[in-house]
A and B are shown apart, each in its own frame.
Chain A
């Protein structure tokens, strides 16, 4: 029984990481229909920014978060202005172009920082474990779970409770009419892309104590995040959240039953079958046609 609880916690921890990575991707995909394969590299940039802030400025992972968010959002904003903006009418081409951007970012980091793995220290305050009976939970992972819920709620508030969110949803529903009402859809798109990139940066910062920070860390992450977004449904925040919990828990439990690799293969097979029968995801929202 203890094994089950520990695996459930491991699954939840994985889900929280998936969620925080996929959230930015879901927002970008849902708003603009852009499949951003450079998202993994935004995560990687966030991780390296955290490493740099810790090494050269002496900030901790948590205190660095706002700065990392702003830095990666700025990178995203520039990329949107330079490139993505020209490709809105060619959604499949964005897959290719953002993959190219990913290569460039990856190489830029490899050339400037180096290919070797970088170490980032987790916060002292969160270093221990919380034990309930035989269930051992790392405090830092608990923090990540809490933080991912916070980011989810924050994004939801941003989308539904602010003027920006209202404008964004208007643009998603009908770009032309929104522009007639004086909403600058280009600006909305830029900000949204930057916000999504910033979220990826935060994800990168949060996972640094758990993953090894290397230039290629993003490639695997983006595939997972991409699958979460598709399973969750086009641009649906609640879909992304439930899909990450589903995929995280399924991976953890199946890994315990079989082994890590076979568990992952089984989950991928499940995802393929799910997309086949529900191509619009678990929570399809009827926006953007």
Chain B
């Protein structure tokens, strides 16, 4: 175990302690406040999912919101069926007489939970195979995923009879797990979301420190050289894209639970770029930092919109531009720099090249060419 992994494990433990123990205590176990915070935590999952593909593998996915939206619709479809006997109400309004075949399996809870992960993963995988087999990289990944996002959102809005169109899926029943009807304004629901985030983060930390993660970073730095070493670059990229999409779908399922509806705005360009913003503010190189970034930006957004009803969006834009310009590695980069300075000051003249190489900040990561 190297020191980077060690630091990340400590950070992960601290992070989970804060969200599982600290936040509920701070909010006084108040169901309403915790519901808001559970929303932030589900967004943290999609932000860390983006950090896996963008920060680790260098694939800027501007269509992350599409897989997020799929997850939320999968969950909402199940809850909608639970809420209606027979045909969901909006289908009646759209002259759909029989429950469409794609809706039928969503009666089952286990199918829904699996589909929420596997459908986004499959779609992400298809796009990834399509792109990476042709060695598409850099800005073209961003363009293709963006175009896919726009097309997918249009399709969802267009298929009114299937998806509820512009209105999305509303009037959902509460989720019933075996022996537990989930009340989204309860403390236990908060623990469910916080638990999901912790598991997702543990997976993310494990992945980024595994050999798999190392190869992904090698691909980000120089795809050709990695290829010359005999690694199948496209396969690695496809796998991380699938994992990232599945995590985004998971986040989407939780998000639909928290907000109790699914809407095509979850698949909008603005929302997708907002995910990128959270990830960049926190620091794309670390899944923990990306998750923290999502929480910080959303908490700020919540607070600022109370204080500056009109201008908060503008403040957000200004903060974001400043972060991109002066903190290109996000909050994570600042922390890493400070730690390195402290270490250097402590060690004074006893510079040791081998030891230096183990420290996080000396691993050059932000080279974009």
A contact set with B: CB distance below 8 Å: 35, 83, 86-87, 90-93, 95-97, 99-104, 107-108, 111, 219, 223, 226-227, 230, 259, 261-262, 264-265, 268-269, 271-272, 275-277, 279
- Inter-subunit contact B134/A276 (CB<8 Å): yes
Q: Complex Cα distance A271/B138, Å?
A: 17
Contact with A along B199-232 (1 / 0, CB 8 A): 0000000000000000000000000000000000
B123 at the interface (CB under 8 A from A): no
B113 at the interface (CB under 8 A from A): no
- Inter-subunit contact A230/B143 (CB<8 Å): yes
* Chain B positions within 8 Å of A102 at CB level: 317
Given known A83-B321, A219-B269, A275-B144, contact A268–B151 (CB-CB < 8 A) = yes
B177 at the interface (CB under 8 A from A): no
Q: Complex Cα distance A276/B48, Å?
A: 27
Interface locus among B188-196, B273-281, B298-306, B345-353: B273-281
- Inter-subunit contact B151/A111 (CB<8 Å): no
Number of interface residues of B (CB under 8 A): 39
Contact of A276 among B131, B316, B321 (CB under 8 A): B131
* Chain B positions within 8 Å of A35 at CB level: 139
25 pairs, CB–CB < 8 Å, chain A vs chain B: A91-B139, A92-B142, A92-B368, A93-B324, A96-B276, A99-B276, A99-B277, A100-B318, A100-B324, A104-B321, A107-B311, A107-B317, A111-B310, A230-B143, A259-B158, A261-B155, A261-B158, A264-B154, A265-B151, A265-B158, A268-B151, A272-B148, A275-B147, A276-B144, A279-B140
- Inter-subunit contact B147/A268 (CB<8 Å): yes
B361 at the interface (CB under 8 A from A): no
- Inter-subunit contact B151/A107 (CB<8 Å): no
Tell me, rounded to whole Å, the shortest Cβ–Cβ distance linking B128 to chain A.
12
Contact with A along B125-138 (1 / 0, CB 8 A): 00000110010101
* Chain A positions within 8 Å of B368 at CB level: 90-93
- Inter-subunit contact A92/B143 (CB<8 Å): no
* Chain A positions within 8 Å of B143 at CB level: 226-227, 230, 275
Tell me, rounded to whole Å, the shortest Cβ–Cβ distance linking A79 to chain B.
10
- Inter-subunit contact A87/B154 (CB<8 Å): no
* Chain B positions within 8 Å of A91 at CB level: 139, 368
Contact of B147 among A90, A261, A271 (CB under 8 A): A271
Most buried by A among B273, B310, B321: B321
B150 at the interface (CB under 8 A from A): yes
* Chain B positions within 8 Å of A272 at CB level: 144, 147-148, 151
- Inter-subunit contact B154/A276 (CB<8 Å): no
* Chain A positions within 8 Å of B139 at CB level: 35, 91-92, 95
- Inter-subunit contact B314/A223 (CB<8 Å): no
- Inter-subunit contact B325/A83 (CB<8 Å): yes
B5 at the interface (CB under 8 A from A): no
- Inter-subunit contact A261/B150 (CB<8 Å): no
Tell me, rounded to whole Å, the shortest Cβ–Cβ distance linking B67 to chain A.
16
Which residue on chain A has the smallest CB distance to residue B270?
A: A219
B320 at the interface (CB under 8 A from A): yes
Q: Complex Cα distance A111/B313, Å?
A: 10
**Interface residues in B137-179 (C-beta closer than 8 Å to A):** 138-140, 142-144, 146-148, 150-151, 154-155, 157-158
* Chain B positions within 8 Å of A95 at CB level: 60, 139, 142
Tell me, rounded to whole Å, the shortest Cβ–Cβ distance linking A219 to chain B.
6
Q: Complex Cα distance A101/B138, Å?
A: 22
B24 at the interface (CB under 8 A from A): no
Tell me, rounded to whole Å, the shortest Cβ–Cβ distance linking A273 to chain B.
9
- Inter-subunit contact A230/B154 (CB<8 Å): no
**Interface residues in B339-369 (C-beta closer than 8 Å to A):** 368
Q: Complex Cα distance A86/B321, Å?
A: 12
* Chain A positions within 8 Å of B31 at CB level: none
- Inter-subunit contact B317/A111 (CB<8 Å): no
Contact of A101 among B140, B147, B270, B321 (CB under 8 A): B321
Most buried by A among B142, B157, B273: B273
* Chain B positions within 8 Å of A279 at CB level: 134, 136, 140
8 nearest A-B residue pairs (beta carbon): A103-B317, A107-B314, A100-B321, A268-B151, A104-B317, A100-B320, A261-B158, A97-B324
Q: Complex Cα distance A271/B144, Å?
A: 8
Given known A91-B139, A276-B131, contact A111–B320 (CB-CB < 8 A) = no
Most buried by B among A87, A92, A108, A226: A92
Tell me, rounded to whole Å, the shortest Cβ–Cβ distance linking B321 to chain A.
4
Tell me, rounded to whole Å, the shortest Cβ–Cβ distance linking A95 to chain B.
7
* Chain A positions within 8 Å of B130 at CB level: 276
Q: Complex Cα distance A86/B195, Å?
A: 41
Given known A104-B314, A219-B269, A269-B151, contact A97–B325 (CB-CB < 8 A) = yes
* Chain B positions within 8 Å of A96 at CB level: 276-277, 280, 320, 324
* Chain A positions within 8 Å of B144 at CB level: 272, 275-276
- Inter-subunit contact B136/A87 (CB<8 Å): no
* Chain A positions within 8 Å of B134 at CB level: 276-277, 279
Tell me, rounded to whole Å, the shortest Cβ–Cβ distance linking B169 to chain A.
19
Q: Complex Cα distance A252/B116, Å?
A: 36
